[in-house]
Amino acid sequence: MKTKILILLSALVLAAMPAVAQQKYACVNTDYVLRSIPDYSNAQKRIDKYVEDWTAELVEKQAEVETLRSEYEQESYLLPENLKKRRQEEIKAKEQEVRALQQQRFGPGGDLDKKRAELLKPVQDRVWAAIERIAQEKNYGFVFDRAGSPAVLYANKKFDISDDVLESLGYKPGASAAPPEADNGKKKPTNPEMRQRDNDRKSVNTKGRELRK
């Protein structure tokens, strides 16, 4: 029985091979495409400004907590127990306020995520739609992303449709950014927010790895 199943599976694979061989493939560098779109760069600058302002706000709030704690430590030996407890509760409430604000600004589903969805996602959706449109027009079975995807070990440049995507969106290829090859050897950002910004540029990967006919 197992032998018959194996023979049947082998026959199905062999029958499918010609269809697979006829599939057309292409690749796109979504990082290069997004960096070449002024709307995306402007949106990212706005988000960076929000991050800067919110970080300064948190630093100020945390400084208030440290001031309260320092004053309490200097005066606690003079305070009666009821005042000690009141001051401790005040410090605890301020600490909770800082944690809540940090969660509101930078936590999952917080203000930063909302701003990314508001400002970046529309541009990413336009890029995705352009990739899908070109793939359907040119009958590509799959479109792979060259933007750091470990699944793409080699891609011939003649199959790179990045410039086609930009042109379809109304932008001149290479006008707003250097080609991705110019980034070789550059140190990647280590700041968590900058790393997240790079991930945003590549979030279109979640849709654009494979396109069906």
Is a pLDDT exceeding 80 seen at residue 101? yes
CA angle 183, 185, 190 (to 5 degrees): 85
Q: Establish if 6 belongs to a structural domain.
A: no
Residues 95 and 159 in one domain: no
Instruction: Write down the pLDDT at residue 172.
Output: 82
pTM for the structure as a whole: 0.62
Is a pLDDT exceeding 50 seen at residue 160? yes
Residues 124 and 188 in one domain: yes
Over the stretch 61-84, which tens digit does the pLDDT of each residue have? Answer: 999 999 999 999 998 888 888 999
For residue 188, what are the domain limits? 22-37+119-208
What CATH code is carried by the domain that includes residue 135? 3.30.910
Residues 131 and 81 in one domain: no
Over the stretch 116-155, which tens digit does the pLDDT of each residue have? Answer: 999 999 999 999 898 888 888 888 888 888 877 555 545 5
Residues 58 and 29 in one domain: no
Q: Which of 115, 133, 166 is the last residue of a domain?
A: 115
Q: Establish if 213 belongs to a structural domain.
A: no
Residue 61: Cβ within 10 Å count: 16
Is a pLDDT exceeding 90 seen at residue 201? no
Q: How far apart are CA 34 and CA 39, in angstroms?
A: 9
Residues 64 and 142 in one domain: no
Average pLDDT over every residue of 151-162: 64
Residues 188 and 156 in one domain: yes
Q: Establish if 174 belongs to a structural domain.
A: yes
pLDDT above 70 covers what percent of the chain? 66
Q: Which of 115, 147, 163 is the last residue of a domain?
A: 115
Q: Establish if 108 belongs to a structural domain.
A: yes
Q: Establish if 12 belongs to a structural domain.
A: no
Spell out the residues 6+ positions from residue 28 whose beta carbon is closer than 8 angstroms to its own: 131, 143, 144, 145, 146, 160, 161, 162, 165, 208
Closest CA to 65 of 33, 34, 37, 88: 88
Q: Which of 115, 134, 166 is the last residue of a domain?
A: 115
Q: Establish if 162 belongs to a structural domain.
A: yes
Q: Establish if 103 belongs to a structural domain.
A: yes
Residues 71 and 104 in one domain: yes
